[in-house]
Amino acid sequence: MSAVRIIIVNYRTAGLTVDCLRSLAPEVKTLADCRVVVVDGGSGDGSAERLAATVRDEGWGGWVEVLPLLENRGFAAGNNAALRPLLTTARPADYFLLLNPDTVVRPGAVRALVDFMDAHPTVGIAGSRLEEPDGTPQRSAFRFHTVASEFEAGAQIGPISRLLSSRLVAPPTRDENHPTDWVAGASAIVRRDVFAAVGLLDEGYFLYYEETDFCLRARRAGWRCWYVPASRVVHLVGQSSGVTNPKDPPKRVPRYWFDARSRYFRKNYGLLYAGMASAAWLMGFALRRLRASVQSKPDLTPAYFVGDFIRFNFLPV
């Protein structure tokens, strides 16, 4: 039976992490060799102590380890802090499941991923079907970003989106297993051999785009990525970061989002392509604002977004 290690990176979300662990408890019992490492990214609010106490009080010590870090260095670095020792043990696990703290796994979710990976040895990464608490699916299987997709993302106008439907980063959800470019890092299982081929997550990303970058590196190394909807995971969107929560959008998008986007394009496609992608987004956004102005629709863009977008993509910072 394949061995699995689950990694959860917590930052001041101890309550959510405990709920996630509770949902994992029955899953772990169905697998022959499954353990969880909870990395606390220097929360400084007592999270590490609370998590350690909960593990002790619930009797989870046999399958949960809490790894406290001194500082918060982001999602990639937090996962890598657990991955490094796990990958260098005498007998490293076959698979590593990266799981957000703001998730609750449905029964059978982990086993569905493991069974799929066991049956498809050429697949390096697989992602779960993320969904709302009421079961409504979230778009969780994605295409790589392109100049065309950035234009569509900036515009968000029906006719343009339909014209560029084959370029949408987040296409409509499907109910069957299928290959995809990349999957959300909220629940993604990675074969050990992928890390051997491409290395760990890029710690140059603090938050966002790190899973996109990792899946692209895996693709270039010959590993395929699939979406497995039988693995159902509730994702409380944005609860761990506060940035992508549609119910409570940020007043200003943090700089690390802009830095991550810029790093992804520049690193993987070059400076010229990055500039073209950013210019395409601005062109699309200009069309969106023109249409909204004509139709007297409110501007829902986060504060300072356009100025920050220009500043962090086109001006020396």
> For 33-74, what is the HEC assignment?
EEEEEEEECCCCCCHHHHHHHHHHHHCCCCCEEEEECCCCCC
Query: How far does Cα 187 stand from its chain's mean position?
Result: 7
Helix (H, G, I), strand (E, B) or coil at 200: coil
Contact 145, 276 (CB under 8 A): no
CA Rg value for the chain:
20
Tokens of 140: 């969780």
Helix, strand or coil, per DSSP, at residue 226: strand
| Averages of pLDDT over each 10 residues, the chain, 317 residues | 95 97 96 96 96 97 97 97 97 97 98 98 98 97 98 96 96 97 98 98 98 98 98 86 57 95 98 98 96 89 94 85
Helix orientation angle between 271-294 and 147-155, rounded to the nearest 10 degrees:
20
Class of domain 3-138+173-239: alpha beta
**What's residue 245's pLDDT?**
56
Do 135 and 234 meet the contact criterion of CB atoms below 8 Å apart?
no
Where exactly are the structural domains of the chain? 3-138+173-239, 144-170+249-317
User: How far apart, in whole angstroms, are the C-alpha atoms of residue 15 and residue 193?
Assistant: 33
What's the distance, CA 246 to chain centroid? 16
Q: Give CA–CA dist 73/90, Å, rounded.
A: 28
What predicted TM-score, i.e. pTM, was given to this entire model?
0.94
Among left, alpha and beta (phi > 0; psi -120 to 50; other), residue 43 is alpha
Give the list of residues 6+ apart from residue 8 with CB closer than 8 angstroms, or none.
Answer: 17, 20, 21, 36, 37, 38, 39, 99, 100, 101
